Chains A and B, each alone.
Chain A
Amino acid sequence: MKPPPFRYHDPRTLAETVTLLGTLENAKLLAGGQSLMPMLNMRFVLPDHLIDLNKVAGLAHVEAEGRTVRIGAMTRQRDLERSALLAAKLPIIPAALAHVGHLQTRNRGTIGGSLSHLDPSAELVTVCAALDATVTVAGPGGTRAIPFSEFPLGYMTPATGLDEIVTEIVFEAWPAGHGFGFAEYARRHGDFAIVSAAALLAFRDDGRIGRAALVLGGLEPVPTRLSAIEAALAGETPSEELFAELCRPCAELEAMGDALVPASYRRHLAPVMARRALARAAGIAAAAIH
Chain B
Amino acid sequence: MNPGGMVGKAVPRIEDDALLRGRARFVDDIHLPGMLEAAFVRSPHAHAAIRGIDTAAAAAVPGVVAVFTAGDLVPHLTAERLVVGLPSPSYRLEVDRPVLASDEVVHVGEPVAIVVAASRYVAEDAAALVEIDYDPLPVAENCRDALADDAPRVHSREPHNLVAAFDMAYGDIDQAFARAPHVLRESFWQHRGVAHSMECRGVVAAHDPIGNRLTVWSSTQTPHPAKRLICALLGRDDEEVRVVAPDLGGGFGPKLVFYPEEIVVPLASILLGRPVKWIEDRREHFVATTQERDQYWDMAIAIDGDGRILGIRGSLIHDHGAYTARGVNVPYGSAVTVPLPYNVPAYRLDVKLALTNKVPVTPIRGAGQPQATFVMERLLDRVARELGLDRAEVRRRNLVHADQMPCEKPLKLRGGTFVALDSGDFPTAMADVLAKTGWADFRARQEAARAAGRHIGIGLANYVEGTGRGPFEPVKVRVTSNGRIRVASGATAMGQSTQTMLAQIVADQLGGDMANVSVTTGDTAAINLGFGGFNSRQAVMAGNSAHAAAMKVRKKILKAASAMLEVAEDDLEIVGTRVALKGVSEHGIALGAIARALDGSPGYKLPGDLEPGLEAEEHVIVHDMAFSSGSAVAEVEVDVDTGAVTVTRFTLAHDCGRMINPMIVDGQVVGGIVHGIGNALFEWMGFDAEAQPVTTNFGEYLLVTATEIPEIEILHRQSPSPLNTLGVKGVGESGVIPTPAAIISAVEDALSPYGVRIAQAPVSPADIIALINGASGRA
Contacts and interface: CB of A to CB of B under 8 A. Distances in A.
Q: Do chains A and B touch in the complex (CB under 8 A)?
A: yes
Interface of A: 1-5, 38, 42-43, 185, 187-192, 259-262, 264-265, 268-269, 272
A141 to B, nearest CB: 37
B707 A260 contact: no
A131 B704 CA distance: 34
B705 A259 contact: no
Interface of B: 120-121, 124-125, 128, 281-283, 641-644, 682, 686, 688, 694-695, 697, 699-700, 702, 704-705, 707-708, 765-766, 769-770
Contact of B642 (A5, A38, A185, A261): A185
7 contacts: A1-B281, A3-B121, A38-B697, A43-B124, A188-B702, A264-B766, A265-B643
A286 to B, nearest CB: 20
B686 A265 contact: no
A264 B641 CA distance: 14
B682 A187 contact: yes
A43 B120 CA distance: 14
A2 B121 contact: yes
Nearest to A102: B705
Contacts of B704: 188
A189 B705 CA distance: 8
A265 B699 CA distance: 18
B766 A272 contact: no
Given A42-B283, A185-B642, A268-B769, A260 B124 contact: no
Contacts of A1: 124, 281-283
Nearest to B766: A265
A260 B694 contact: yes
A117 to B, nearest CB: 13
Contacts of A191: 699, 702
A146 B644 CA distance: 38
A272 B124 CA distance: 45
A3 B281 CA distance: 13
Contacts of B769: 265, 268
Given A259-B694, A265-B765, A188 B708 contact: yes
Contacts of A272: 641-642
Nearest to A46: B128
B700 A260 contact: yes
Nearest to A42: B283
B64 to A, nearest CB: 14
B283 A188 contact: no
Nearest to A276: B641
Contact of B644 (A3, A4, A185): A185
B695 A269 contact: no
Contacts of B700: 260
Given A43-B124, A185-B644, A262-B766, 11 more contacts: A1-B283, A2-B121, A5-B121, A5-B125, A43-B128, A185-B642, A188-B707, A189-B705, A191-B702, A259-B688, A272-B641
A168 B124 CA distance: 37
A190 B708 CA distance: 11
A272 B770 CA distance: 15
Nearest to B640: A272
A10 to B, nearest CB: 20
Nearest to B128: A43
Contacts of A259: 686, 688, 694
A90 to B, nearest CB: 26
Contacts of B641: 272
Nearest to A273: B642
Contacts of B695: 260
Contact of A2 (B124, B694, B697, B702): B124
- Ranked 3 nearest A-B pairs via Cβ: A265-B766, A259-B694, A189-B707
Main secondary structure of the interface of A (DSSP, over half): loop
Contacts of A4: 124-125
A5 B765 CA distance: 41
Contacts of A43: 124, 128
Contacts of A2: 120-121, 124
A108 B700 CA distance: 22
A42 B682 CA distance: 24
User: Which of B682, B686, B688, B766 has most chain A Cβ within 10 Å?
Assistant: B766
Contact of B702 (A38, A187, A262, A269): A187
A155 to B, nearest CB: 17
B657 to A, nearest CB: 36
A261 B695 CA distance: 12
B766 A187 contact: no
Contact of A269 (B281, B642, B686, B707): B642
Contacts of A187: 682, 702, 765
A226 to B, nearest CB: 18
B28 to A, nearest CB: 13
Contact of A261 (B120, B283, B697, B766): B766
B705 to A, nearest CB: 5
A205 B708 CA distance: 43
B285 to A, nearest CB: 10
Contact of A260 (B120, B643, B686): B686
A113 B124 CA distance: 27
Contacts of A42: 283, 697
B699 A192 contact: yes
Contacts of B682: 187-188
A192 B704 CA distance: 15
A185 B765 CA distance: 10
A46 to B, nearest CB: 9
A260 B767 CA distance: 11
Contacts of A3: 121
A190 B707 CA distance: 10
A43 B281 CA distance: 13
Contacts of A265: 643, 765-766, 769-770
A187 B702 CA distance: 8
B283 to A, nearest CB: 6
Contacts of B282: 1
Nearest to B123: A2
Nearest to A187: B702
A265 B707 CA distance: 23
Nearest to A188: B705
Contacts of A190: 705, 707
A5 B707 CA distance: 38
B674 to A, nearest CB: 13
Contacts of B770: 264-265
Contacts of B125: 4-5
A188 B677 CA distance: 13
A17 to B, nearest CB: 27
Contacts of B702: 187-188, 191
A185 B642 CA distance: 7
A156 B499 CA distance: 50
A32 to B, nearest CB: 17
A191 B765 CA distance: 15
A5 B642 CA distance: 44
User: Which of B686, B697, B704, B765 has most chain A Cβ within 10 Å?
Assistant: B765
Contacts of B708: 188-189
A265 B763 CA distance: 14
A143 B235 CA distance: 71
A265 B769 CA distance: 8
A52 B765 CA distance: 40
A265 B682 CA distance: 16
B228 to A, nearest CB: 32
A188 to B, nearest CB: 5
A99 to B, nearest CB: 12
Contacts of A261: 766
A68 B13 CA distance: 58
A262 B764 CA distance: 11
A21 B402 CA distance: 77
A41 to B, nearest CB: 9
A219 to B, nearest CB: 14
Nearest to A262: B766
A2 B115 CA distance: 15
Nearest to A258: B694
Contacts of A189: 705, 707-708
Contacts of B643: 265
